[in-house]
Amino acid sequence: MPDLFSIAGKTALVTGGSRGIGRMIASGYVEAGAKVYISSRKAEACEQTAAELSEKGTCIALPADLSTEAGCRQLADALAGREPRLDVLVNNAGNTWGTPLEQFDDAAWDRVLSLNVKGVFHTTKFLVPLLEEAATDDDPARVINVGSIDGIHVPVLETYSYSASKAAVHQLTRHLARRLAPRITVNAIAPGPFESKMMAATLDSFGEQIAASAPMKRIGRPDDMAGIAIFLASPASSYMTGAVVPVDGGIATVG
C-alpha cells in the first residue's frame, strides 16, 4: 500500500510542459520523485520552466514542434539518445482557435488538428519502443492524453476545431488502448477550466460565472491536475486503460 500511488524513480515526458496544464503535471511529477522531460515549441520557455522545476527535483527541456510528423520523430529520437526507456508519456501539447462559423476556414482546422490529434498519434507511435522497454507485467508503461470536457459536451464558444479535436483525442485514446495493451495503458484526462494561458481570456471575462455554474463552485487548481496525472502514472491505475476521466468540478454533468 505505501507504494500504490508512487511514481518515484519513473521517467516521464510531458509535451506542452512549459506552461498551463502541462506545467501542472510536470511539477507534480517532479515533486513526486520522477525524472521529467518537458517539451515545448518555444525553446526559451521550455528551458526556463525546466530550470524552475529543477529546483524541486529533476526536469530537463527537450524543445520540439509536434505539429509535424518530423517534429514528433525528432523528439522521440532526442529522448532515445538520453534514455533507454520511458515509463510515462503525457500528450498535452495543444492549440485552440475561436472564430465565428462563417469565418472558420482551413487554417482554423489545420493548425489545431495537426497538433491536437496528429501530434498525439505520431508522438505516441514513435515512443512505443521506449515505452515497451519500461513495461512490466505488473506495471505497464503509460500514455496519458489530455483531452477536454469540450470533447464531451458542446462548448458555448465557437471553437469548432478544438472541440472536434478533443473528441478525436478521446476516441484515439480508446483505439490506442486496445492496440497497445497489455504492455502499455492509454487513458485520457478531460480537463474543465483551469488557470492557463489558453483559458486566460475566458476566465478573465467569465471566470466567476463559470465557477458559480460548476457543481464544485470553483476553477481547477494545479494540485487537482497533478493528482489525477500521478494516479494514472502510478501502480494504482495499472488495470485501467481506455478511460476518459473528466476533471472539471462536475461541469460536464450539467450541460
For the chain, the average pLDDT equals 94
Task: Among 55-64, 88-97, 189-198, 220-229, name the one with the lowest average pLDDT.
Answer: 189-198
pLDDT value at 173 more than 90: yes
CATH of the domain at 223: 3.40.50.720
Sheet holding 184-191, edge to edge: 58-61, 35-39, 11-15, 88-91, 141-146, 184-191, 244-247
pLDDT value at 197 more than 90: no
**33 falls within a domain:** no
pLDDT value at 196 more than 80: no
Question: Of the listed 29, 37, 160, 162, which one is catalytic?
Answer: 162
Contacts of 169 (CB under 8 A, 6+ apart): 91, 116, 117, 120, 145, 146, 147, 148, 151, 188
pLDDT band at 206 (very low <50, low <70, confident <90, very high): low
Q: Has 162 been annotated as catalytic?
A: yes
The Cα-based distances of 192 to 4, 163, 165 in angstroms read 27, 12, 15
**5 falls within a domain:** no
Q: Mind listing the pLDDT tens digit for each residue in 213-240?
A: 788 888 889 999 999 999 999 999 999 9
Q: Mind listing the pLDDT tens digit for each residue in 14-53?
A: 999 999 999 999 999 999 999 999 999 999 999 999 999 9
**34 falls within a domain:** no
What's the pLDDT at 201?
67
What is the tally of structural domains in the chain?
Answer: 1
**74 falls within a domain:** yes
**182 falls within a domain:** yes
Q: Mind listing the pLDDT tens digit for each residue in 141-163?
A: 999 999 999 999 998 889 999 99
**187 falls within a domain:** yes
Structural domain for 157, as ranges: 68-253
**91 falls within a domain:** yes
pLDDT band at 134 (very low <50, low <70, confident <90, very high): very high
**133 falls within a domain:** yes
